[in-house]
């Protein structure tokens, strides 16, 4: 067993098919060049507990194994209540840091790992949180990758997906598995009924605009959008048609068609109520300049921020971005999935 070990897993971006992927429609998505990083290290002075250093959450704590088991049981009980409709998904996890702690103890129990004294977990990420880039999936996968390597568990891909999904469900209600697949494998894929087909990375010039962390969690936005999908006979098919066209346009790098698909996708997302008015005004301004933009990920059913947007426009929009108090950065793909570094 190695002394210290560090694992990373990439963020993701959904190009087309948010929400509808949960209802059987295809989605297009890619891993991007931002990562979550988990390091397992030893601190001999920590004799009776596991230390957690979650840098992005400014959280430091030491918990006994029994406390972690208690946390796992409480969270699982609450998730069962959610499935029965007795509470909202937001009530399952009391604090953001509990997701990593759950993922850690879940793997420990699943593979019957005997934890020696002095283990510490340090987590850090440069993925914007709550912005639709799969920060929770990347974090979960990096934790599991580090544990698997340290204890030489020889976990197969199916094990990673199954275990990581059990954790991600606690935050999203029901995970499509798309975020997790890209965190594990990297690359660009068409994801259809939980099966992934590789695609070449987009070569069209696109970038991301961060509107800020959404006020609603992914699980909340998914629950909000569900009423539209459940009450419409054509909505899922409408999303699927846009994704099919988007897929074809990307493969031929038909930039006019790509923009048309981004605009169509935006209108569908606005229809299901996950694009705040401020974001809609920004997108309208982009379209007036001949461009296209859409939120990526779950968006937000309330508040002004909706996470990241995919933007494709030839004009200089730096002043427009500044006016809305947004942040802009280039879109770069990541062909690599989880790995030990």
CA distance 306 to 267: 15
Check: pTM over 0.75? Answer yes or no.
yes
Provide the sign of the torsion angle of the four alpha carbons 77, 124, 175, 341, taken in this order: negative
Beta-ladder partners of 310: 208, 294
The CATH code belonging to domain 207-330 is 3.30.70.890
200 contacts 251 by C-beta, under 8 angstroms = yes
Residue 2: per-residue pLDDT: 56
Tell me if domain 5-199+336-340 and domain 207-330 are identical in fold: no
- Residue 54 to residue 47: CA distance in whole angstroms: 20
CA 133 to chain centre: 5
Cα 243 from Cα 5, distance rounded (Å): 39
Looking at residue 1, its pLDDT comes to: 52
Instruction: Kindly tell me the burial class for residue 159, based on how many C-beta atoms sit within 10 Å of its own C-beta (0-12, 13-18, 19 or more).
Output: middle
C-alpha distance from residue 59 to each of 5, 62, 90, 195, 340 (Å)? 21, 10, 20, 36, 24
117 contact partners, CB below 8 Å, separation of at least 6: 44, 46, 47, 48
Domain topology for 5-199+336-340: Ribosomal Protein S5; domain 2 (3.30.230)
Strand positions, DSSP E, 82-217: 119-125, 188-192, 195-199, 207-210
pLDDT at position 116: 79
User: What does each of the 341 residues of the chain score in pLDDT, given as a tens digit?
Assistant: 557 899 999 999 999 999 999 899 999 999 999 999 999 998 877 777 899 999 989 999 999 999 999 999 999 999 999 999 999 988 999 998 999 999 999 999 999 998 877 899 999 999 988 888 999 999 999 999 999 999 998 888 888 889 999 999 998 888 888 899 999 999 999 999 888 999 999 988 899 999 999 988 888 898 899 999 999 999 999 999 999 999 999 999 999 999 999 999 999 999 999 999 999 999 999 999 999 999 998 899 999 999 999 999 999 999 999 999 999 998 899 999 999 99
Task: Supply the pLDDT for residue 239.
Answer: 97
Q: Which two tokens stand for residue 221?
A: 């936005």
Domain boundaries of the chain, sorted by first residue = 5-199+336-340, 207-330
């Amino acid at each position: 067993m190695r002394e210290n070990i560090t694992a990373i897993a990439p963020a993701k971006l959904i190009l087309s098919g948010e929400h509808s992927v949960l209802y059987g429609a295809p989605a297009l998505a890619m891993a991007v060049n931002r990562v979550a990083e988990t390091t397992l290290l030893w601190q001999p002075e920590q004799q009776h507990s596991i230390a957690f250093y979650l840098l992005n959450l400014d959280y430091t704590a030491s918990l006994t194994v029994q406390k972690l088991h208690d946390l796992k049981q409480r969270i699982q009980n609450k998730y069962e209540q959610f499935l029965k409709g007795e509470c909202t998904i937001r009530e399952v996890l009391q604090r953001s840091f509990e997701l990593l702690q759950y993922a850690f103890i879940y793997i420990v129990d699943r593979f019957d790992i005997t934890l020696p004294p002095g283990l510490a977990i340090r987590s850090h990420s440069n993925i914007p949180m709550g912005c639709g880039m799969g920060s929770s999936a990347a974090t979960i996968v990096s934790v599991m990758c580090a544990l698997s390597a340290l204890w030489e568990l020889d976990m197969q891909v199916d094990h990673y997906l199954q275990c990581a999904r059990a954790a991600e469900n606690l935050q999203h209600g029901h995970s499509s598995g798309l975020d997790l697949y890209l965190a594990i494998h990297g690359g660009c894929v068409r994801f259809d009924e939980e099966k992934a087909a590789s695609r070449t990375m987009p070569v069209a010039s696109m970038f991301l605009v961060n509107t800020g962390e959404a006020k609603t969690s992914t699980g909340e936005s998914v629950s909000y959008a569900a009423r539209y999908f459940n009450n419409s006979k054509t909505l899922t098919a409408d999303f699927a048609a846009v994704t099919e066209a988007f897929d074809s346009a990307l493969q031929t790098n038909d930039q006019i068609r790509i923009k048309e698909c981004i605009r169509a996708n935006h209108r569908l997302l606005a229809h299901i109520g996950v694009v705040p008015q401020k974001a809609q005004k920004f997108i309208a301004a982009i379209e007036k300049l001949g461009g296209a933009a859409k939120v990526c990920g779950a968006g937000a059913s309330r508040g002004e921020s909706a996470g990241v947007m995919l933007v494709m426009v030839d004009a200089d929009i730096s002043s427009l971005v500044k006016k809305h108090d947004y942040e802009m950065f280039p879109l770069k793909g990541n062909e690599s999935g989880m790995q030990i570094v």
